[in-house]
Amino acid sequence: MPKRSRSSQRWLKEHFDDPYVQRAQQEGYRGRAVFKLEELDQRDRLLRPGMRVVDLGAAPGGWTQYAAGRIGRKGVLVASDILPMDPVPGAEVVTGDFREDEVLDRILETLGGEGADLVLSDMAPNLTGTDAVDQPRSIHLCELALDLALRVLKPNGAFLVKLFQGEGSDAYLAELRRCFAQVKVRKPKASRPRSREVYVLARNPRDV
């Protein structure tokens, strides 16, 4: 087996020393990202019992686990990802690219034609380490998530999306402000300080 590079060794040590990683393991969540959603939920009251929620880029399923627990049995939760994902009690998992009609139809069918109260997107591209490649890809995913959110959200619905700050992010924020009555940018504590990721919460879609 080849030796790991020093940078790889540092990443592994940082990962397993991370208190959020340790807490996720202790509490049975599938990843540390769940605590970003938990903090945002506590701050902005995103999730309530009985809500109808779409979770995009859901794998491995930490956000889905948390959302399912918050909306309860009377809620409806659709978790979608290109990657396969183990089932989550209380969620309907739709595997595939939601840009494809068949996958989108399954999401809409699960919502039952009633629309969604909340669309979550923690999507990120497979990173190459080259900003000129990674940043446009991440913005494109944000745009795709926005397109779906505007299609399925109820008039008083909300959209939470991960956005990497950089080229294109200001234009994307401007588009969110055009499409929603209220837009807030958040940086959860569980988001690593060196990461350029922020989370944008947009509420009450406009009729645009």
Residue 21 dihedral angles phi and psi, to the nearest 5°: -65, -45
- Which amino acid appears at position 128 of this protein? T
Q: Is 61 annotated as a binding residue?
A: yes
Q: Is 8 helix (H, G, I), strand (E, B) or coil?
A: helix
Determine the Cα–Cα distance for residues 82 and 103; give it in Å rounded to an integer. 10
Query: What are the residue ranges of helices labelled H in 80-188?
Result: 101-111, 131-152, 169-179
**Which strands, in side-by-side order, build the sheet including 153-164?**
92-95, 76-81, 52-56, 116-121, 153-164, 197-205, 180-186
Q: Is 18 annotated as a binding residue?
A: no
Q: Is 86 annotated as a binding residue?
A: no
Determine the Cα–Cα distance for residues 60 and 142; give it in Å rounded to an integer. 19
Displacement of CA 104 from its chain's centroid (Å): 17
Contact 59, 91 (CB under 8 A): no
Catalytic residue among 162, 184, 187, 189: 162
162 noted as active-site residue: yes
Catalytic residues, by residue number, are 162
> Which residues line the annotated binding site for S-adenosyl-L-methionine?
61, 63, 81, 97, 122
> Which residues line the annotated binding site?
61, 63, 81, 97, 122
